[in-house]
Amino acid sequence: MAADGVLVLAGLFLAHLAADFLLQTGGIVADKSASGRRVLRGLGLHGAGVAVCLVPFVALFGAPGLWTLVLVTVTHVVIDRAKAVATRRAEARALAAAHSRHASGVASPIALGPAWTPVPAGLFILDQAAHAAILVGAWAIWLAGATPVPDVAAAIDAALGGWDRVAVHDAALTAVVLASLVIVNVRAGALFVAILVHPREAVTGAAMPDEPRPAGASAARGTGWRIRLGPLEAVAEPVAEKPVGAEAAHPTGGRDAGHASPARVGATIGIIERLLIATFVLTGAEAAIGFVVAAKTLARFRQLDDRDFAEYYLLGTLASVSVALGSALLAAAALGTLAR
């Protein structure tokens, strides 16, 4: 008997999300964007994580699962490297524009400024869309009508005993879909919004900003220029050498030491916002979404008089709400296939 196609497809997406947003560390991401041996190490570790998450499909389906693992893992590594290279080039162009703007003293004619670029966030979306297309293709070719390995199917049947098979299927699909929904809105959504609106930094001195540093990276030793690149402004400022151990003593820096980072607080608010919106969509209480957005807006009401902040806030909020709505609607569609 063939396995349920929707449950298998949902499991593939959960495996992808776990590999991309739970197993992949910041160090792996940095290595994938580097050069030389670091790239091979980063891509190798991430590819291994993807493969590990797909091993259950090999155990369940045998050869079809193995072919799925090979295709998804290889294409995942290729797509990720292409995205990393394209992102670096986009950030380099934006940093070069910021450097040129600082050198010429030309003011930005628009609030978001010429240094801000939506390209990295767009590449993030394309990257995930490409992975999703590969998953759906592999599922359609090998797994949609695949029959579990007889020994495995017998073991599962024996483990279930007298349990209602329909109820077990519905519970499994619900658990997989909800787990995926949580990962999307807690990890993937936060990363997407951060890529879209958070500033990027690079230090320029003797070298031109053709290799931007990752977001949140510390300044290089020595005196140079740091260009903060974000949706509000591109600001160049001199950077002096920091004494060894200064960051360890004050990890949040200066007057913010001992206080919660505004970025961390904002990210937490965004996670709660997305989870609430997803919950409202799944429970049919869509009207309550307006109250969530309104409460968030009231907390920043006075700051909205600043046009720069208003556009920054609107950009992040729309992106966050879009992630929550889109993922919740997909989850509702998957759950709509439950036995009636």
Residue 159 phi, psi (nearest 5): -65, -35
Choose the most confident range, by mean pLDDT, from 36-45, 46-55, 205-214. Answer: 46-55
Q: Scanning the structure block, which residue is given the tokens 């909020």?
A: 317
Spans of all domains in the chain: 5-198, 201-250
Question: What Cα–Cα distance (Å) separates residue 156 from each residue in 180, 192, 269?
Answer: 23, 38, 41
* Statement: residue 282 has pLDDT above 70: yes
Do residues 37 and 3 touch, judged by C-beta distance below 8 A? no
Q: Scanning the structure block, which residue is given the tokens 């890529």?
A: 195
Q: How confident is the model at residue 102 (pLDDT cuts 50, 70, 90)?
A: low
| Rounded Cα–Cα distance for residues 255 and 205 (Å) | 27
* Statement: residue 291 has pLDDT above 70: yes
Do residues 123 and 192 touch, judged by C-beta distance below 8 A? no
How much is the pTM? 0.81
Question: What Cα–Cα distance (Å) separates residue 52 from each residue in 73, 81, 153, 208?
Answer: 10, 19, 21, 40
Lowest-confidence region among 52-61, 145-154, 244-253, 278-287: 244-253
Which pLDDT tens digit goes with each residue over 89-100? 888 888 777 777
- Residue 259: partners with Cβ closer than 8 Å, 6 or more residues away: 252
| Rounded Cα–Cα distance for residues 176 and 232 (Å) | 39
Q: Where is pLDDT greater, at 168 or 248?
A: 168
Q: How confident is the model at residue 254 (pLDDT cuts 50, 70, 90)?
A: very low
Percent residues over pLDDT 70 in the chain:
75
Whole-number pLDDT of residue 312: 79
* Statement: residue 261 has pLDDT above 80: no
* Statement: residue 250 has pLDDT above 60: no
Do residues 210 and 74 touch, judged by C-beta distance below 8 A? no
**Torsion over CA: 300, 304, 306, 311 (sign):** positive
Residue 236 phi, psi (nearest 5): -105, 135
Question: What Cα–Cα distance (Å) separates residue 321 from each residue in 99, 281, 292?
Answer: 33, 12, 10
Q: Cα Rg for the chain, rounded, in angstroms?
A: 23
Query: DSSP characters for 23-41?
Result: S--HHHHHHHTS-THHHHH
Q: How confident is the model at residue 233 (pLDDT cuts 50, 70, 90)?
A: very low
* Nearest Cα residue to 19 out of 105, 121, 102, 131: 131
Q: How confident is the model at residue 143 (pLDDT cuts 50, 70, 90)?
A: very high
Whole-number pLDDT of residue 93: 83
* Statement: residue 284 has pLDDT above 60: yes
